[in-house]
Amino acid sequence: MIELFDVTKRFGEEVAVDAISLRVQKGELCVLVGTSGCGKSTTLRMINRLIEHSDGEIHLDGQPVRTFDEVTLRRRIGYVIQNTGLFPHWTVARNIGLVPRLLKWPRAQVRERVETLMALLGLPIEEFAAKYPHQLSGGQAQRVGVARALAADPEILLMDEPFGALDPITREALQHELLDLQARLHKTIVFVTHDMDEALALADRLVVMRQGRIVQQGPPLELLHEPVDDFVASMLGGDARGLKEAALTRVRDRMLPLGPRLLAHERVAVDVPLNQALSLMLWHRVDRLTVVDDDDIPIGELSLRRLVGSKA
């Protein structure tokens, strides 16, 4: 668990982070969003003490971070940054094994751990272990970055725009992988992004920042439905919020069992989000879709009325 109590950071005269309070529960994925320069990275880096906070307290599991030795502290916290920060003179395997080696794990155990992580992140060992970072694509490098952060099995993961430099398709793939990982590993994650779709897709708790302050925080749907002011509303997509919300709900949650009526001709998979279902209706100019399961077998139906109808 990460707790920030009235944490302030001043760079000289400038206040980069202004008395923010935040609690990230164990196993929670907390996403920080906000305009550029609002203090997201600074907040993240105060947690692992790359930057020392000026005022307030930061606690990990109830202990002030200042009471830890900073090097020991950082080895317990995974850290992923936008430009990966992989060591260009080390191979992929050596990069991933960095923290376990710093912690003086036995050699065999380090190797085993590296292999496990490469498998976990879909990096075939024979192909990638001996490669150097400059031989990787952006997506592969970012996977290596995540693997390196996870290497010593830290409870906490800090991710600063980790997928920011990737194309939308790779980014989405990595988001899904992160959610899968999170479902299995239950880390406590603080994630910074500029991409509102990414934020909504990942967040258990969404934190909107502006000029060093937290304007609003809570579950994504809560922020979508009840933004405290125009700034939060526009951050969350303004008039496009309806579609953003639809992206958070699956067809499964709105469909009705198959009725006596004839099956609609156009089909939609049960696991896709509602915004896609809506798009299909717009595209085919229909107001009814047949919902099918993974094997393409009809299991229900979704009507436009249902789709727009009652709130979840």
Pair 130, 91: CB distance under 8 Å = yes
- For residue 139, what is the enclosing H or E element? helix 138-150
Q: Interface residues for ligand ATP in 34-73 (CB under 6 A)?
A: 34, 36-42
Minimum CB separation of residue 244 from another protein in Å reads: 31
Contacts of 35 (CB under 8 A, 6+ apart): 210, 235
Pair 98, 144: CB distance under 8 Å = no
Contacts of 260 (CB under 8 A, 6+ apart): none
Q: Interface residues for another protein in 128-147 (CB under 8 A)?
A: 132-135, 145
Which of another protein, ligand ATP, Mg ion, none does 123 bind, CB closer than 5 to 8 A by kind?
none
Pair 129, 117: CB distance under 8 Å = no
Contacts of 240 (CB under 8 A, 6+ apart): none
Q: Interface residues for another protein in 87-116 (CB under 8 A)?
A: 87-91, 98-99, 102
Q: Tell me which stretch binds ligand ATP (CB under 6 A): 30-38, 168-176, 230-238, 247-255.
A: 30-38
Q: Interface residues for another protein in 37-66 (CB under 8 A)?
A: 45, 48, 50
The count of residues interacting with ligand ATP (CB under 6 A) is 10
Q: Which residue is nearest to Mg ion (CB)?
A: 41
Its sign, for the CA torsion 51, 52, 56, 57, is positive
Contacts of 158 (CB under 8 A, 6+ apart): 44, 47, 48, 77, 78, 79, 80, 189, 190
Asked if 193 interacts with another protein (CB under 8 A), we say no
Asked if 41 interacts with Mg ion (CB under 5 A), we say yes
Interacting residues toward Mg ion by CB under 5 A: 41
Interacting residues toward ligand ATP by CB under 6 A: 11, 16, 34, 36-42
Interacting residues toward another protein by CB under 8 A: 45, 48, 50, 71-76, 79, 81-91, 98-99, 102, 132-135, 145, 148-149, 158
